[in-house]
Chain A
Amino acid sequence: MVTGTVESGSLQTAIEWMERDTDAEPVIEVEGLNFYYGRDRTLSDVSVSIPQHGVTAIMGPSGCGKSTFLRTLNRMYEVIPGARAEGTVLFAGEDIFKLDPVTLRRRIGMVFQRPNPFPKSIYDNVAYGPRVHGIRRRSVLDGLVEESLIRAALWDEVKNELKKSAFSLSGGQQQRLCIARALAVRPQVLLMDEPCSSLDPKASSQIEATTRELAAELTVVIVTHNLHQAARVSDHVGVFLSGGVLAEFGPTKKVFEAPRHPDVQDYLAGRFG
Chain B
Amino acid sequence: MTERRRRRITQAIAFCLLGSAGLSVLLTLAIILYFMTAQGSRAVSWEFLTEFPRKGMTEGGIYPAIVGSFCLATGAIVISFPLAVSSAIWLSEYARGSLWVRVIRVGVNTLAGVPSIVFGLLGLAFFVGVLKLGVSVLAGALTLALLILPIIIRASEEALRAVPTSFREGALALGATQWQTVRTIVLPAALPGILTGAILGVSRAVGETAPIMFTAAAFYMARLPRSPFDKVMALPYHVFVMATENPNYWRTKDLQFGTTLVLLALVLSLNLGVVVWRTGLRRRKRW
- The one of A102, A110, A116, A182 that contacts B167, using a Cβ cutoff of 8 Å: A116
Q: Does A178 contact B (CB under 8 A)?
A: yes
Interface residue tally for chain A (C-beta within 8 Å) = 27
Binary contact readout A113-132 vs B (1 if CB under 8 angstroms, 0 otherwise): 01011110000000011011
Residue of B nearest to A107 (CB): B175
Within 8 A of A (CB), among B164-199: 164-177, 180, 184-185, 188-189
A167 proximal to B (CB < 8 A) = yes
A181 to B287, CA, bound (A): 18
Contacts of B280 in A (CB 8 A): none
Q: Is the CB of A132 within 8 A of B176?
A: yes
Judge whether B175 and A103 touch: CB under 8 Å: yes
The total of chain B residues at the interface (CB under 8 A) is 23
Assess whether A97 is interfacial by the CB under 8 Å rule.
no
Q: For A176, list chain B residues within 8 Å (CB).
A: none
Judge if B102 is at the interface, Cβ distance under 8 Å: no
Cβ of A74 < 8 Å from any Cβ of B? yes
B96 within 8 A of A: yes
A119 touches B176 (CB 8 A): no
* Residue from the list B96, B171, B180 in contact with A118, Cβ < 8 A: B171
Cβ of A221 within 8 Å of any chain B Cβ, yes or no, is: no
Flag whether B19 is at the interface (Cβ < 8 A): no
Cβ distance A105 to chain B, nearest Cβ, rounded Å? 4
Contact with A along B37-73 (1 / 0, CB 8 A): 0000000000000000000000000000000000000
CA distance A110 to B175 in the complex (A): 10
Q: Report chain A residues within 8 Å CB of B189.
A: 119
Selected from B96, B174, B184, B185, the residue in CB contact (under 8 A) with A185 is B174
Whether the Cβ atoms of B172 and A178 lie closer than 8 Å is no
**Among the listed B96, B97, B164, B180, which residue makes an inter-chain contact with A116, where contact means beta carbons less than 8 Å apart?**
B164
Report how far A185 CA is from B175 CA in the complex, Å.
9
Cβ of A81 under 8 Å from chain B: yes
Asked whether B173 lies within 8 Å of A132 as measured between CB atoms, the reply is no
Q: Give A70 Cβ to nearest chain B Cβ, in Å.
A: 11
Q: Which of B143-170 contact A (CB under 8 A)?
A: 164-170
**Could you tell me the distance in whole angstroms from the C-beta of B232 to the nearest C-beta in chain A?**
42
User: B283 on the interface (CB 8 Å rule)?
Assistant: no
Q: How far is the CA of A79 from the CA of B173 in the complex (A)?
A: 11
Complex: chain A residue closest to B98, CB-CB? A81
A106 at the interface (CB under 8 A from B): yes
**Contact for A128 among B96, B166, B168, B171, CB less than 8 A:** B171
Q: At the interface, yes or no: B4 with Cβ under 8 Å from chain A? A: no
Q: How far is the CA of A178 from the CA of B169 in the complex (A)?
A: 12
Partner of B174, one of A81, A109, A119: A109
Interface residues in A180-197 by Cβ distance below 8 A to B read 181-182, 185
Please judge, given known A-B contacts A129-B175, A132-B176, whether A81 and B166 are in contact too, CB under 8 Å.
no
A209 within 8 A of B: no
List chain B residues, Cβ under 8 A from A110: 169, 173
Q: B175 and A105: CB pair below 8 A? A: yes
Looking at B96, B166, B172, B175, the one whose CB has the most chain A CB atoms below 10 A away is: B175
Interface residue A133 (Cβ < 8 Å from any Cβ of B)? yes
Question: B223 near A: Cβ within 8 Å?
Answer: no
Which has the most chain A C-beta neighbours within 10 Å: B96, B173, B185?
A: B173
Question: Is there a chain B Cβ closer than 8 Å to A112's Cβ?
Answer: yes
Asked whether A76 is an interface residue with its Cβ less than 8 Å from the other chain, the reply is yes
**Nearest chain B CB to A128 CB, angstrom units:** 6
Measured between beta carbons, the chain B residues less than 8 angstroms from A131 are 184
Q: In the complex, which residues of chain A have a beta carbon less than 8 angstroms from the beta carbon of B287? A: 119, 167
Closest 3 CB pairs of A and B: A106-B175, A116-B166, A110-B173
In the complex, 15 of the A-B residue pairs with CB atoms within 8 angstroms, ordered by the A residue number, are A76-B173, A79-B172, A102-B176, A105-B173, A105-B174, A110-B169, A112-B166, A112-B169, A116-B164, A118-B167, A119-B188, A119-B189, A129-B175, A181-B170, A185-B174
Which residues of A come within 8 Å of B, CB atoms?
Answer: 74, 76, 79, 81, 102-106, 109-110, 112, 114, 116-119, 128-129, 131-133, 167, 178, 181-182, 185
Interface residues of B (CB under 8 A from A): 96-97, 164-177, 180, 184-185, 188-189, 286-287
Given A102-B176, A128-B176, A178-B170; 17 other pairs, CB 8 A cutoff:
A79-B165, A79-B168, A79-B172, A81-B96, A105-B172, A105-B174, A112-B170, A116-B164, A116-B169, A119-B189, A128-B174, A129-B176, A132-B174, A181-B170, A181-B174, A185-B174, A185-B175
